Amino acid sequence: MEVARRSSCSTAPPSPSSGVLFAALSRDRPERMGHGRTEDKPDRPFDFHQMAEDTVAFMQAIGVGRGDLIGWSDGGNIALDLAINHPERIGRMAITGANFRVDGFAPEVIEWIKQVKPEEFDPAAPRR
C-alpha cells in the first residue's frame, strides 16, 4: 500500500494554491514531540534522528511498510534522516527548506542558535 505522508511539524501549506494537494497527501501525519498536544519536555532525545525513528514507529503502527514523504523545513530534515537510516521505507520524497547540517550557516547565526532560550519562543511571552 502506498500512502503519502507529510513529515512536517507544521500543518500550513507553503502557498494557498497547494492546500488541496496537501490535504490529499497528508492523510496520516504524526504529531512531533514538543509540538501541539505532545509533552514539551520529553524524557528522551529531542532531535531529528529521534523524530525520524518516531516516524518509522508511526508507519509500523498504521501498517505502512513504505511511503512517500513530503518534508518542509524540520519535516525535510526528518525525512532526510529517515531516508539515510531507513531507505527501504521511502518511496518518493519531496523536500523543501531542509538544512540537514548547520555548517553552511553564517557564524553569527550559529552563535544565536547556541544562545537562544526555549522561553523566547513562547507565544504568550512579552515581546521586546
Other Cβ atoms closer than 10 A to 40:
9
Render the burial of 10-32: b for 16+ CB within 10 Å, e for the rest.
eeebeeeeeeeebeebbeebbeb
67 in Cβ contact with 2 (< 8 Å): yes
Domains of the chain: 3-102 (3.40.50.1820)
The three cell numbers of residue 47 are: 532531535
Distance CA 101, CA 90 (A): 21
Lowest mean pLDDT across 7-11, 57-61, 78-82, 96-100: 7-11
Give the best-scoring range by mean pLDDT among 24-28, 105-109, 121-125: 105-109
Lowest mean pLDDT across 70-79, 83-92, 112-121: 112-121
Name the β-bridge partners of 95: 71
pLDDT digits (tens, 9 = 90+) for 55-77: 899 889 888 899 888 888 888 99
User: To the nearest whole number, what is the mean pLDDT of the chain?
Assistant: 75
Work out the pLDDT band at 95, boundaries 50, 70, 90: very high
Considering the entire predicted model, what is its pTM? 0.63
